Structure formats: C-alpha cells, structure tokens
Amino acid sequence: MNIISLEEKLKNFLENGNDWERIKTTINGIFILKIPRSKIKDIPSRIVVELNPSDEFGNPTKKRGIILRNLEELKEFKNLINNEKLEYLLKAIDNINPKAIKRVKPSKEKIEI
C-alpha cells in the first residue's frame, strides 16, 4: 500500500470513526484508535497508534495498550524498552509477585439427578 492511500484511509477514519473506536491493522498487536476531542484543552479529535498484544484472532488482550501519538513518542518508548535495567527490574518484580492462579473453567457437563 502506498503512503497516499494509507493517509486517505486514516483521514477517513478520523473524520467518520466513532470516539474510542479501535480498528485492526495488518500487523498483529498494532491498532488505530480514535481519541475524542478534548474540551478542556481544546484539542480536536485525533487518531493514535495503540500497541496491545493480540490473541490468535487478532483481538487485543488488554483493555488499553500503549498509546503512541507521534513518531517522537515511539522513539522515547523504544529507548525505555531497550534499557537493560528494565529487564532487571521486571525479573525482580516477577520473583516477588505472587504467582497468578490459573482459573479452571467449570465443566459444561451436567449430572442427571
């Protein structure tokens, strides 16, 4: 896809999409999100990129992912994520946090009485 047709599709989504509407892209885990106009700061509606791990169907697994408003924010997040101390910190957190309890789905089997 060329950049012009991509920009046309994004512009159409910005103009016609619903507030907080999320659309999938062809890259798993990357979504386009329409953010409503801010009345307090007088900022118009805009679209952003949301990074959110996806399931096997391409649906987001978290309620809200990482929001990227522009290329500069992407660069800042890359620097943060690539910091080796972040991995060290997360390993320590993994070690002290209680382990998640796996929930067993109840059986759909019925017992006849």
pLDDT (tens digit, 9 = 90+) per residue, 76-95? 999 999 999 999 999 999 99
pLDDT (tens digit, 9 = 90+) per residue, 43-53? 899 999 999 99
- Kind and range of the H or E run holding 24: strand 22-24
The rounded average pLDDT for each run of 10 residues, N- to C-terminus, in the chain (113 residues) is 86 95 94 92 92 93 95 96 95 92 69 68
Specify the pLDDT at position 101: 80
**Spatial distance between the Cα atoms of 100 and 70, rounded to a whole number of angstroms:** 35
**For residue 24, what are the contacts with CB-CB under 8 A and spacing of at least 6?**
31, 58
Kindly list the domain boundaries of the chain, sorted by start residue: 3-68
